[in-house]
Amino acid sequence: MSTKEEMAEIDQMEAGSNQPSVAPVGYNINRAKGASTMGVQTVEVSSASRPGAGSLMSPAPALSVATGTNDVEKGATVQKSGDQWGKNMQRWRNDNIDIGKDPGGPGICAFILTLFSFLLILATFPLSLCFSVKVVQEYERAVIFRLGRLLKGGARGPGIFFIVPCIDTYRKIDLRTVSFDVPPQEILSRDSVTVAVDAVVYYRVHNPTIAVSNVENFSHSTRLLAATTLRNVLGTKNLAEVLSERETISHTMQSSLDEATDPWGVKVERVEIKDVRLPVQLQRAMAAEAEAAREARAKVIAAEGEQKASHALRQAAEIISESPGALQLRYLQTLNTISAEKNSTIIFPLPIDILKHFIKPDKKDKK
């Protein structure tokens, strides 16, 4: 295929996609000559960086159109290439639109006001320095607007910066970590229990420009979002999970808040659950349930102790029964203990031999 045929095919592709046949500024069309392989020609459409586009300009991906002898494949490839060409054009248009930049320019009135302000500063120098020189602290940044437009270069600070008093306005943003209490939220848990939960949120501003231009009041918006996020997260938990999985709930809230406040230039660093308040009747019911459970465990433990003591006494009785003198010694030891603890008790010693006639003989004795 000759170069003229390639040009005609590219023009047909551009006309079929309703796009201009001339590439926009910053986009070049490179036609590969002599790159045929097995009867296939390659047409590469690439993008070069537009001068002055900055970081917002991203080159469009290369577009390759393979043309062969098959008319069906050729038509499908041309249609696909036309769609890709439209996407590249849309990307080029988006790249040319800067955030906060009016394509029409500031206008002649803005230039006149700016020139008049600078002349006024020069005429009142050095008195104008009192109004032009500003200082922000290490933990602060200043976002400057000139005639309502966001000034290029981002936020100023820390240290000294200059403004034009007549046409510039600025707003200071504190970059330090801010903490606030989330008011107690009445929440109905998944098992239909009403609880009141409050929390503490720690956040900071990581992009002052976005925090000023994208949201009216980032602090108030973050507080409202924290309250609603707390209700949404705890509404999916049972009462037992709310009481035992506080760290998991805090981490889930922190992730949700951080993702939602990122377009506002706010970074949520930490979320902590402070207190979970239960209704008084529910507290009494839970206390009664816990007390009953403790009493049941105490009875079980006491029964196990009695069982172990009976086994021990049985073993002791078997040992004492093997020696007649051991029982007499145990009897004397008991008398000694009683006389030491209770001196007012009168004890009448009774020989053990008298009681032998009243004790039934064991089966071993009969044998």
Per residue in 224-259, pLDDT (tens digit) is: 999 999 999 998 888 888 888 889 999 999 999 999
Predicted confidence (pLDDT) at residue 59 exceeds the cutoff of 80:
no
Average pLDDT over the chain, rounded to an integer: 74
| DSSP state letters, 263-311 | GGTEEEEEEEEEEEEPPHHHHHHHHHHHHHHHHHHHHHHHHHHHHHHHH
State the pLDDT at residue 9.
64
pLDDT at 321: 78
Least confident of 19-23, 85-89, 147-151, 312-316: 19-23
pLDDT at 188 over 70: yes
Q: Is the peptide bond before 165 cis (omega within 30 degrees of 0)?
A: no
* Average pLDDT estimate for 101-123: 78
Tell which wins on pLDDT, 35 or 241: 241
Average pLDDT of span 312-322: 83
Instruction: Supply the pLDDT for residue 200.
Output: 94
Q: How confident is the model at residue 58 (pLDDT cuts 50, 70, 90)?
A: very low
Residue from 204, 199, 205 nearest 187 by CA: 199
What per-residue confidence (pLDDT) applies to 352? Answer: 62
Q: Which of 83-97, 112-126, 265-279, 304-318 has the lowest mean pLDDT?
A: 83-97
| pLDDT of residue 73 exceeding 90 | no
What percent of the residues of the chain are helix, what percent strand, and what percent coil, each to the nearest 5? 50, 20, 30
270-304 residue pLDDT tens:
999 988 888 888 888 888 888 899 999 999 999 99
The structure tokens listed for 137 are 């602290």
CA-CA-CA-CA torsion sign (99, 101, 104, 109): positive
Res 34: pLDDT: 39
Asked if the model's pLDDT at residue 37 lies above 50, the reply is no
Residue 112 pLDDT > 90, yes or no? Answer: no
- Residue 110 clears pLDDT 90, i.e. is over it: no
Look up the pTM and report it.
0.54
Provide the strand spans (E) within 82-177: 133-136, 140-146, 149-150, 159-162, 168-174
Within 8 A by CB and 6+ apart from 79, the residues are 16
Reported in sequence order, the residue ranges of 91-163 that DSSP labels E, i.e. its strands, are 133-136, 140-146, 149-150, 159-162
The pLDDT value given to residue 265: 92
- Does the pLDDT value for residue 1 go beyond 90? no
- The more confident residue out of 271 and 46 is 271
Asked if pLDDT for residue 15 goes beyond 50, the answer is yes
Least confident window among 65-74, 106-115, 257-266, 310-319: 65-74
What pLDDT shows up at residue 229? 92
Residue 28: what pLDDT? 41
Residue where the block lists tokens 């940044």: 141
d(CA 128, CA 119): 11
Q: Please report the pLDDT score of residue 313 as a whole number.
A: 85
Q: Which of 201-210, 238-247, 349-358 has the lowest mean pLDDT?
A: 349-358
How confident is the model over 8-22, as a mean pLDDT? 52
